[in-house]
Amino acid sequence: MPARTYVYKLKSDRGGAPSAPPPDPDETPLLTLSICKPAIRRTAQPGDRILGITSHSLASSDGYPLNSVIYAAVVEGTVDAREYYAARSPFRHRPDCIYRFHKLQGTIEHSGRTPLHADPAYRSRDIGQYPYYKNGRTLLSHEFRYFGAAAFPIPLQFARLTEVAESLGQGHRVFGESDPEQAEICRLMQMLWKQSTRHTPKVVSDEARDHAPRQKRRGVRFTDAARVQIGDTTFQPPLGGSGHSILRPRTHLGSRWEDRRDRSTQTRLAIAAGQHSGSGVGGHRKRLLQSDDDRRRGTFTLA
């Protein structure tokens, strides 16, 4: 497969991702990418190239120059999570080797030796779910250049790469051999390899900013025993076909509720609260649909 180039922006650069600590006297410098950017780690193959460039958040927090290369690497090999995080792994001394593989249980847990990604919210993104741990793939590179805060500016004559750097968001871009950007990438790599590499810290305790995966907002789930208190009235919401009804409070819109599962819940809540006009179902419908905005959103107001 022809070599590809992955380009992404770093939001943090404290030595966790990438990790390229100073080698011991008898070692060859090694750059690893074992946490963050799971889509890149799952798909990159030996021979592919990676360019990590400065994000606006990193420029703001740590003063890195914008549109600049923090590191460049040629992927040499990959290591599975069960090997990288094994108890006797040759990588266990590295700052990004923050998990431990428990052979008897077949599980991977945070080692606890560093606060880096100790929040369980990181685990799924870093290594994936038990038992396959599909994200737990580490990229290895001996051919790299790391510049850190002295990031190498992308020359202005590389108009395509400059546009990529300015427009790229949280994801990444992949360029194949036939993409016009590859010509500028090859010229840039030649310039980078004329520079001396730096190294990341040997000890990593935190990141420049908290970018833990955010938990999805959930509605309020009512079960058989649940009650809704509206004024002096206690109401038992009807259960939907799956055995529950989900109501989501709209905190900045008075006492408005949005029901995504059972539209009849809206009518029944209005009846229970005495917030209806007329008699019969037609009167209830007239009350609920008096606001065009509410009708479009499927919501109603308990005044």
Tokens at 82, concatenated = 């069960």
**Can you tell me the distance from the alpha carbon of 30 to that of 38, in angstroms, rounded to the nearest whole number?**
20
Q: Are 94 and 21 in contact (CB under 8 A)?
A: yes
Predicted TM-score (pTM) above 0.75: no
Percent of the chain scoring above 90 in pLDDT: 63
Residue 284 sits at the vertex; the CA angle it makes with 278 and 289, to the nearest 5 degrees, is 115
- Ordered per-residue pLDDT tens for the chain, 303 residues: 568 999 999 999 999 999 999 999 989 999 999 999 999 999 999 999 999 999 999 999 999 999 999 999 999 999 999 999 999 999 999 999 999 999 999 999 999 989 999 999 999 999 999 999 999 999 999 999 999 999 999 999 999 999 999 999 989 999 999 999 999 999 999 999 999 999 999 988 766 555 566 554 444 443 434 444 445 555 454 444 444 434 444 333 343 334 444 444 455 545 445 554 444 444 444 443 445 555 455 554 444
| pLDDT reported for residue 170 | 85
> To which residue do tokens 């070692």 refer?
27
Tokens at 20, concatenated = 């390229």
User: Do the strands 233-235 and 228-230 form a parallel or antiparallel pair, or are they unpaired?
Assistant: antiparallel
> To which residue do tokens 């080797």 refer?
97
Nearest-CA neighbor of 84 among 152, 139, 151, 42?
Answer: 139
Which residues, listed in sequence order, are joined to residue 139 by a DSSP beta bridge?
Answer: 33, 78
Q: Which residues contact 289 (CB under 8 A, 6 or more apart)?
A: 295
